[in-house]
């Protein structure tokens, strides 16, 4: 069995969900040939593993984000394109492949699989400082130069990679992740949600972090248009309200909602328990994602897995994800979003909704296996093309 170390370095909710879904998918394979091992910082809260399958976890202070050791390790990686600190950990635990992490260096006998989430800093450079853009370019360049393979979540991101570093395309692989919303237990039922969060009636759901590129302002403009027409549907929005790149983004958004007179129709719940979020997804009229940039949207994947209708910004990656019955809107077209929201409101058909949900539920196991099988094939390809001096473990 090939032991694959995956560094849980993602701190945002979508990133944690990505790892949870990948690891659970791997364990669905009947012909599984890889043994995932999770690499985690010593300070990481055990609660972060909620919903993860039972697997070996290796903890190390070198993996604790933003600590002196972690910063020193990153500086060393940037300067020398090696990571002797983590490599020693991997060797002591007999890890064959390092995945979703940085590089170990050309001379390492442990191959690496890098992961590039998106190229947002190039698509929306105004949202990043010059130093942030430079750091991301350097980091992506290191992966391209030194990783055995580079994983991207979409063909759209692969095209962006081709523009960034054409020589990296040959070693790149597309791994479209599949979301499993039910991994953390039973979803909260609608009556409990209404009682706890004090809302009533039909609603749209926006399960996105309050980051500026998520484009929540378009929803506020659409609500203002619908209000002028004598209609004001409820929109419930969840997710963290802090954006380190634009610290005042959330406050400015709320001031805009107040000035437009739609504050009561735009309910912000913040970060909520996962079971509550899934319950809100299941019972929503539709999900809305007006984002200006995505790598491979988690909320869209969850909508696909639940069979929910979605209204999406017209991005190439959203078209690639292709959720059934999706409606696409220009991310600057507030009238188009208002019209789409009204269309969904006036065309709700419980029978069609149930049929879509049933089809999604039946298709999900096969989609999950395909996701896991593609990842396993990438790992096996790396081992076969770069066997080094490793003895595979059984």
In this structure, the answer to whether residues 310 and 185 fall within a common structural domain is yes
Can you give the pLDDT at residue 60? 92
In this structure, the answer to whether residues 165 and 86 fall within a common structural domain is yes
Asked whether residue 10 carries a pLDDT value surpassing 60, the answer given is no
In a domain, 73, yes or no: yes
In this structure, the answer to whether residues 237 and 274 fall within a common structural domain is yes
Overall average pLDDT of the 5-26 stretch:
82
In this structure, the answer to whether residues 329 and 199 fall within a common structural domain is yes
In a domain, 281, yes or no: yes
In a domain, 119, yes or no: yes
In a domain, 390, yes or no: no
In this structure, the answer to whether residues 28 and 145 fall within a common structural domain is yes
In this structure, the answer to whether residues 147 and 28 fall within a common structural domain is yes
Tell me, what CATH number does 104's domain have?
3.40.50.2000
Can you give the pLDDT at residue 280? 98
In this structure, the answer to whether residues 171 and 188 fall within a common structural domain is no
Can you give the pLDDT at residue 244? 82
Which of residues 367 and 64 earns the better pLDDT score?
A: 367
Can you give the pLDDT at residue 356? 96
161-174 residue pLDDT tens: 999 999 999 999 99
Quote the domain boundaries for residue 168.
Answer: 2-175+367-385
In this structure, the answer to whether residues 129 and 218 fall within a common structural domain is no
53-62 residue pLDDT tens: 899 999 999 9
In a domain, 356, yes or no: no
Q: Could you give phi then psi for residue 156, rounded to 5 degrees?
A: -60, -45
In a domain, 391, yes or no: no
In a domain, 95, yes or no: yes
Asked whether residue 17 carries a pLDDT value surpassing 50, the answer given is yes
In a domain, 360, yes or no: no
Asked whether residue 252 carries a pLDDT value surpassing 60, the answer given is yes
How confident is residue 122, by pLDDT bands cut at 50, 70 and 90? very high
296-354 residue pLDDT tens: 999 999 999 999 999 999 999 999 999 999 999 999 999 999 999 999 999 999 999 99
How confident is residue 74, by pLDDT bands cut at 50, 70 and 90? confident
Can you give the pLDDT at residue 110? 94
In this structure, the answer to whether residues 309 and 295 fall within a common structural domain is yes
In this structure, the answer to whether residues 302 and 320 fall within a common structural domain is yes
- Structurally, the chain folds into a number of domains equal to 2
In this structure, the answer to whether residues 373 and 259 fall within a common structural domain is no
Asked whether residue 282 carries a pLDDT value surpassing 80, the answer given is yes
In this structure, the answer to whether residues 6 and 53 fall within a common structural domain is yes
Look over the chain and give the mean of its residue pLDDT values, rounded to a whole number.
Answer: 92
Overall average pLDDT of the 378-387 stretch:
88
Can you give the pLDDT at residue 389? 43
Can you give the pLDDT at residue 390? 42
How confident is residue 51, by pLDDT bands cut at 50, 70 and 90? confident
Can you give the pLDDT at residue 202? 96
How confident is residue 14, by pLDDT bands cut at 50, 70 and 90? low
How confident is residue 101, by pLDDT bands cut at 50, 70 and 90? confident
């Amino acid at each position: 069995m090939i032991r694959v170390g995956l560094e849980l370095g993602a701190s945002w909710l979508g990133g944690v969900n990505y790892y949870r879904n990948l690891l659970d998918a791997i364990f669905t394979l009947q012909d599984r040939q890889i043994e995932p091992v999770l690499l985690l910082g010593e300070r990481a809260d055990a609660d972060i593993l909620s919903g993860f399958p039972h697997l070996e976890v290796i903890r190390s202070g070198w993996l604790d984000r933003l600590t002196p050791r972690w910063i020193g390790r990153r500086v060393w990686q940037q300067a020398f394109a090696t990571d002797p600190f983590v490599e020693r950990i991997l060797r002591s635990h007999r890890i064959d492949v390092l995945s979703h992490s940085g590089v170990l260096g050309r001379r390492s006998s442990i191959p690496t699989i890098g992961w590039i989430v998106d190229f947002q800093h190039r698509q929306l450079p105004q949202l990043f400082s010059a130093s942030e853009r430079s750091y991301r370019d350097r980091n992506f360049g290191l992966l391209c130069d030194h990783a055995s393979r580079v994983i991207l979540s979409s063909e759209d991101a692969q095209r962006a990679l081709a523009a960034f570093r054409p020589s990296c395309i040959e070693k790149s692989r597309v791994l479209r992740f599949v979301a499993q919303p039910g991994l953390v237990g039973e979803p909260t039922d609608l009556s409990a949600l209404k009682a706890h969060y004090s809302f009533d009636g039909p609603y749209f759901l926006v399960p996105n972090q309050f980051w500026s590129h998520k484009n929540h302002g378009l929803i506020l403009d659409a609500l203002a248009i619908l209000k002028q027409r004598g209609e004001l549907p409820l929109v419930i929005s969840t997710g963290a309200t802090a954006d380190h790149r634009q610290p005042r983004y959330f406050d400015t958004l709320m001031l805009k909602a107040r000035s437009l007179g739609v504050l009561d129709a735009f309910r912000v719940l913040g970060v909520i328990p996962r079971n509550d979020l899934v319950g809100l997804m299941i019972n929503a009229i539709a999900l809305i994602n007006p984002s200006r940039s995505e790598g491979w949207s988690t909320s869209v994947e969850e909508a696909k897995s639940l069979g929910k209708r979605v209204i999406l910004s017209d991005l190439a990656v959203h078209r690639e994800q292709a959720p059934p019955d999706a409606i696409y809107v220009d991310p600057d077209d507030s009238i188009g979003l208002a019209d789409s929201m009204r269309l969904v409101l006036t065309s709700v058909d419980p029978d069609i909704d149930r049929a879509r949900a049933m089809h999604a539920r039946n298709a999900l196991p096969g989609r999950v296996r395909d996701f896991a099988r593609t990842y396993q094939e990438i790992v096996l390809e790396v081992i076969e093309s770069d066997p080094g001096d490793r003895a595979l473990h059984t």
